[in-house]
Amino acid sequence: MEQNQELSSEEKLIDAAVEHLNKEGLNNFTATVLTRSANLGYGTFYKYFSSTEDVLEAAIKKNVTNWSHINFESNKKEPDRLLAFLEAIYKTILQISNNASMRWLLEKPNYFVEIYYELTFDHAKTDVESAVNNGQLNKEFLKNFDTTFKLILWQICGGMSLIDEGYNYNDIALELIKLIIPNSVGEENAKEICRKLEKRNTQKIF
């Protein structure tokens, strides 16, 4: 409780938004509900946000920041940078698919794509550049990588929809990774990458 009292009113509203999304998704996601949850006056909301869309974006950004930080810290010591790049994507799929409270993301996939892109693109590109320099990837993979990375994120959203329909999350994650791995990597190397990812991550969800 003492820690919460140290938060600014804006931070309290964002935390209230995150908590609401985790419990109820986008149902009753209103300024009235959020200010009441944060123990703030209704007018306080509009000192910081012009609409619920604004606080929704801030809440998603906070969640994605947490995920990307965890992934970055766990992957940065991996010497195989191609594996590190693919593992970050794989972990993201597992994180979302194993968190039932994140199903509301399917209703606002554009937020997920834009914010996740903003917060993780530089790390992803650095990993890919390292993989190119190490001879693991062809330079062609770096061409228009900004577009490629956004397409990967949209594929994740599509995968989430399939998981919601009842498909196994790990099967979907592995199939997406197979689609993402460039043909230049080779079939046997691609299979080995998938084996490593599955062995490392199915027993522990980040």
| Residue 130 placed within a domain | yes
Task: Please check the confidence at residue 201 and state whether its pLDDT lies above 60.
Answer: yes
pLDDT in the model for residue 131? 94
State whether 11 and 68 are in the same domain: no
State the total domains in the chain.
2
Which of residues 30, 48, 66 is at a domain's end? Answer: 48
State whether 23 and 63 are in the same domain: no
State whether 30 and 73 are in the same domain: no
Q: What percent of the chain is modeled with pLDDT above 70?
A: 92
Which segments of the chain does DSSP mark as H helices, in order? 2-5, 9-24, 31-37, 42-48, 52-75, 81-97, 109-133, 145-164, 169-180, 187-201
CATH at 10: 1.10.10.60
Question: What global pTM score does this model have?
Answer: 0.79
Q: Among the ranges 5-14, 36-45, 155-164, 182-191, which has the highest mean pLDDT value?
A: 36-45
State whether 154 and 71 are in the same domain: yes
| Residue 119 placed within a domain | yes
List, for residues 80-111, the tens digit of each pLDDT value: 999 999 999 998 888 877 765 566 777 788 88
| Residue 61 placed within a domain | yes
State whether 79 and 131 are in the same domain: yes
State whether 10 and 103 are in the same domain: no
Instruction: Write the DSSP symbol of residue 182.
Output: -
Least confident of 11-25, 56-70, 72-86: 56-70
State whether 73 and 26 are in the same domain: no
Domain encompassing residue 109: 57-201
State whether 116 and 183 are in the same domain: yes
State whether 42 and 94 are in the same domain: no
pLDDT in the model for residue 205? 44
To the nearest whole number, what is the mean pLDDT of the chain?
87
State whether 19 and 102 are in the same domain: no
Q: Which residues of 39-69 are buried (b: 16+ CB within 10 A; e: fewer)?
A: ebeeebbeebbeebeebbbbbbbebbeebbe
* Residue 148 pLDDT class (50, 70, 90 cuts): very high
State whether 116 and 44 are in the same domain: no
CATH at 163: 1.10.357.10
| Residue 206 placed within a domain | no
